[in-house]
Amino acid sequence: MALVRDMFTRSPHKSTRQAARESGLSRHTVHLVLKKDLNFRPRKPHYVQELTREDCDRRMEYGELMLGWHEDWPKIFENILWSDEAVFHIGGFVNRYNCHYWAAHDPEVTVEKIQNVQK
């Protein structure tokens, strides 16, 4: 148990497979120690958008434009399909489902990501 705790305290981004290889324990044993004995859970970082000074002006312009459209067409917001879609980046941005870390409590790790890169 102490070996697994030390491994994940030093490197919380380590995978259970990597920890099993380094410790000589089975992956199942590493996973059980993390969950049952140490009460660690896999946590995901919170992504936040990097904002520049120009972004505030652009957001205000967009809001004013949308409000103007709403005056001309009151049902505009009922006709917009709002969705959560996937975006693929040329620069090799790692998707958040593959990023996690093990910790007993969520330290609320945030990762700032750049918007408007080539896709």
- Give the dihedral of Cα atoms 11, 24, 97, 12; nearest 10 deg: -10
The predicted structure's pLDDT at residue 87: 56
Longest dimension (CA), the chain: 68
Q: Which residue has the higher pLDDT, 2 or 118?
A: 2
Mean pLDDT of 3-22: 89
pLDDT of residue 15: 87
d(CA 31, CA 80): 44
Task: State the distance between the two ends of the chain, measured CA to CA, in whole angstroms.
Answer: 44
Rounded Cα–Cα distance for residues 9 and 20 (Å) = 15
Q: Which two tokens stand for residue 41?
A: 């859970």
- pLDDT tens digits for 20-74? 999 999 999 999 999 999 988 888 776 666 777 888 888 899 999 999 999 998 8
Calculate the average pLDDT of the chain.
Answer: 79
| pLDDT band per the 50, 70, 90 thresholds, residue 112 | low
Distance CA 15, CA 5 (A): 13
pLDDT in tens, 66-107: 999 999 988 888 888 776 655 556 665 545 555 666 777 776
